[in-house]
């Protein structure tokens, strides 16, 4: 079962600045070979359910190791069995329907990769 996920991990008890922990999670996702796309309030991931979930668990373990005594994470998670759909497909299907306001919208598809 393929899954598209948006995950936002918040370490607690380590002060207000948490980017070090978020960066560590990106290393974990990268080592897991997962597609991970950072945005301003989380990270989009796609892949096989068990692989994605194992990676999110490793993120919790890593962030605890780095010193966070408590973590609260928000996950949005989508599955479908009617057809295949990637993260890029989702963004493109919205953009194809936009008639105005395009200059304010920053697409998140593969063509924007660094």
**Binding positions for a second copy, 74-103, rule CB under 8 A:** 74-82, 87-88, 90-91, 93-103
Residue count at the site for a second copy (CB under 8 A)?
Answer: 76
What is the C-alpha separation between 53 and 5, in angstroms, rounded?
A: 9
Annotate each residue in 1-30 with x if it binds a second copy (CB under 8 A) or - if it does not, as one string. x--xxx-x-x-xx-xxxxxx-xx--xx-xx
Instruction: Note whether 6 and 76 are within 8 A (CB).
Output: yes
Neighbours of 69 (CB within 10 A): 9
The position carrying tokens 């989508």 is 78
In the complex, the smallest distance separating the C-beta of residue 32 from a second copy, rounded to whole angstroms, is 10
For 8, residues 6+ apart whose C-beta sits below 8 A from its C-beta are 41, 42, 43, 73, 74, 75
Touching a second copy, residues 34-73 (CB under 8 A): 34-42, 44, 46, 49-50, 53, 57, 60-61, 64, 69-73
In the complex, the smallest distance separating the C-beta of residue 85 from a second copy, rounded to whole angstroms, is 9
């Amino acid at each position: 079962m393929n899954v598209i996920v948006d995950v936002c991990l918040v370490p607690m008890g380590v002060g207000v600045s948490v980017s070090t922990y978020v960066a560590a999670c990106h290393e974990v996702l990268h080592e897991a070979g997962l597609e991970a796309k950072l945005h301003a309030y989380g990270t989009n991931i796609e892949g096989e359910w068990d692989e994605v979930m194992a990676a999110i668990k490793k993120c919790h373990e890593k962030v605890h190791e780095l010193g966070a005594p408590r973590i609260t994470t928000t996950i949005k998670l989508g599955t479908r069995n009617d057809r295949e759909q990637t993260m890029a497909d989702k963004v493109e299907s919205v953009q194809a329907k936009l008639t105005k306001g395009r200059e304010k919208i920053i697409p998140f598809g593969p063509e924007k990769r660094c």
